[in-house]
A and B are shown apart, each in its own frame.
Chain A
């Protein structure tokens, strides 16, 4: 016999774990912190479901918001602990140059996103990596759409400054 509550929770894990883990990873710059945040966010979901306050269709928003809040203070604590795809890891000697350059670009972009103030990083992550609309972002962060628009605008301005050199190189090559 299957417990329907458990089934719904397991479905939520399979549906959202990838997004929640990557969101936390981009907010904190740490694989380890991202795992802890995902654990805590899903634990809170499970407890909420048990208390009968299941978010239902708002599960994604609930998990994203929880992960954002949990990641708030860990942002810069563990910069560039990232294992997968981070250029801080030593290159294998036989790695082709093109791949090496790409890893370097990837690292610079990730560093720039991590260098943004938290509020800016939130909108950039939700817009660029999760493809959410202004309205969806506003619902998750509990911000009016005008604030989402404004912060995204400022965040991009900051990113353009941070990535200025990279941009030039990429444009010339």
Chain B
């Protein structure tokens, strides 16, 4: 192909039917008088024909039967066992954290509540955030297991950090 010849991509678009009729006519005229482009176009077409030697195979009847049987399961219900399990783990961990935020109040003081309540509130926010991330991941069509594992891990790391902070922040009763 020479400098004046259409770019290779144009020929691909032509064989794929992605070129408007007027432009296609111009390309065809060029291919008719340019040996190099004519050969390239012929090769592209022959590649397409070669790929066609592998035809579709019929669906095994047992597959059709098992696909139709999927409708015997409860529709919706849960997004999938893996995601479901991870969500339960994440929710449980967050709830435990919320409880933990309230329980180890310094004995005989009331000052702990003003710190424990915001901490519990933050725990609920974490739960909400995790839930939102998982919902987004599902609606984006990502691999749910990957996303759930990722979000749950992030959630757990955040929880662990908060627990560690709180452990240091709230003086234990027996130490007083």
- A residues contacting B by CB (< 8 A) are 5-6, 9-10, 13, 17-18, 21-22, 25-26, 31, 35, 38-39, 42-44, 46-53, 62, 65-66, 69, 84-85, 102, 105-106, 109-110, 113, 124, 127-129, 133-134, 149, 152-153, 156, 159-160, 163, 166-167, 170-171
Contacts and interface: CB of A to CB of B under 8 A. Distances in A.
Contacts of B18: 133-134, 149
B63 A170 contact: no
B26 interface: no
Residue of B16, B67, B78 with most partner-chain A CB within 10 A: B67
Contacts of A49: 75-76
Interface residues of B, number: 41
Interface string B45-77: 011101111111111100110111011011111
Contacts of B17: 133
A160 B77 CA distance: 48
Interface of B: 8-9, 12-13, 16-18, 43-44, 46-48, 50-60, 63-64, 66-68, 70-71, 73-80, 139, 141, 143
Contacts of A127: 16
B37 to A, nearest CB: 16
